[in-house]
Structure 1
Amino acid sequence: MKTRLLLIEDQINLAHFIALELRAEGYQVIVEHHAKIGLIAAQVLCPDIIIMSWDLPGEAASRAYHQLRSIGNQVPIVVMTVDTKPRHVLSPELNEMVWLMKPFCMSDLFKAIDQVRHTPLFVNSPQPERMLRIG
């Protein structure tokens, strides 16, 4: 079975390019451009890994992370960012995400995906319930 990735990126051209490259490597890719829709997709579609931009219109990745964890969704997250602030200063639990600095080359993204695929969180976690929670 192909690894299912949810890509949440508001820059449409960048999202399109990343999705094409990921599909060429054999991944199943779902693309969303808005954080709130991406969070719903994360609950409904049960991706294996989420790849998301740190600064999304309407929802920061840190808030999305906390919303997912608060409902028990333990899907691994790769964060793409141009932000150079140390993440542990923002929130220590954000260290569980894999961070990728923009601009990056695709080989770095593939390494980040491989890194989260081999974490105990990914390997040992059952698929989350296919339940949509709103509010």
Structure 2
Amino acid sequence: MAAQILVVEDEPHIQELISLNLTRAGHDVRCASAAEEARDMMQQALPDLLLLDWMLPGISGVEFTRQLRSQARTRDIPIIMLSARVEERDKISGLEVGADDYITKPFSPRELMARIAVILRRRLPQVTAEVVRVGGIVLDPAAKTVIAKGEPLSLGSTEFRLLHFLVTHTDRVYSRSQLLDHVWGPEFVGDDRTVDVHISRLRSALLPCGLSQVIRTVRGSGYSLCAD
């Protein structure tokens, strides 16, 4: 279950410990020591998950979470807040501003890895290797296979990743720029109309099985995959 994780922690030894354990678990890790630095990094590429310390120099983790949740581009990023604050009211404050989980320091690396796995499984199913079954489509990420109404489909790697994202986020509308962020990633440089081309290819592959209509165009907004 590899993911791109951004660690925002100003204590070097804690940052190093977290980074080491995440890397050993196969995750792609970037680190920042302040919210401002993390914001600059996120302008270039959005992480799959954010590990965020409460007590940071400058903007606190709580305030940074509030800012991220107020912006369309970043509001859905899973956030796990790390803090030495153990009072119930502090945990509630962290969760109320939008953190998905709250872990008190000191914590064990095993607990942290378990919490991350739970969040990724719930919020980012496209980074897991679990087989997905939606509306006559069976997609196996590990085997890189797709069966549509009993028939195997031949898809290019980009169409496969695009379909995987859509079938794990059914009935939600994603703009072209959001799909570029999630499917193509930060390295992609090009026009967002690229999404239209690959959506068209994906529909063509689904057409013989009578499933091309499951991918819906929402005029002025983007694309959605209907589960029914």
TM-based fold match above 0.5: yes
| Number of aligned positions between the proteins | 129
- Asked whether the equivalents of residues 69 and 98 of structure 2 are also in contact (C-alpha less than 8 Å), the reply is no
The CA RMSD measured in Å over matched residues stands at: 2.5
Q: With a CA cutoff of 8 Å and minimum separation of 6, indicate the structure with the bigger relative contact order.
A: 1
Structure 1 vs Structure 2: percent identity of aligned residues? 22
Return the letter of the residue paired with 1:18: I
Return the letter of the residue paired with 1:122: L
For residue 61 of structure 1, report the CA deviation from its aligned partner: 1.2
Question: TM (normalized to structure 2)?
Answer: 0.51
- Asked whether the equivalents of residues 39 and 68 of structure 1 are also in contact (C-alpha less than 8 Å), the reply is no
**For the residues of structure 2 that align with 1:92 and 1:111, how far apart are their CA atoms?**
18
Unaligned runs of 5+ in 2: 126-168, 187-228
For residue 117 of structure 1, report the CA deviation from its aligned partner: 0.7
Unaligned runs of 5+ in 1: none
- Mapping of 1:1-135 within 5 angstroms? 2-72=2-72, 73=74, 74-85=76-87, 86=89, 87-88=91-92, 90=93, 93-94=96-97, 96-119=99-122, 121-123=123-125, 124=169, 128=178
Return the letter of the residue paired with 2:108: C
**For the residues of structure 1 that align with 2:94 and 2:53, how far apart are their CA atoms?**
17
Distance 1:16 1:122, change over 3 A: same
Give the secondary structure class of the aligned counterpart of 2:26.
coil
For residue 44 of structure 1, report the CA deviation from its aligned partner: 2.3
For residue 26 of structure 1, report the CA deviation from its aligned partner: 0.3
**For the residues of structure 1 that align with 2:28 and 2:118, how far apart are their CA atoms?**
18
**For the residues of structure 2 that align with 1:51 and 1:19, how far apart are their CA atoms?**
10
Give the secondary structure class of the aligned counterpart of 1:100.
strand
For residue 31 of structure 1, report the CA deviation from its aligned partner: 0.5
**For the residues of structure 1 that align with 2:95 and 2:31, how far apart are their CA atoms?**
28
Return the letter of the residue paired with 2:85: D
- Asked whether the equivalents of residues 66 and 97 of structure 2 are also in contact (C-alpha less than 8 Å), the reply is no
Runs of 4+ in structure 1 over 6 Å off: none
For residue 5 of structure 1, report the CA deviation from its aligned partner: 0.2
Distance 1:55 1:75, change over 3 A: same
**For the residues of structure 1 that align with 2:25 and 2:49, how far apart are their CA atoms?**
15
For residue 95 of structure 1, report the CA deviation from its aligned partner: 5.9
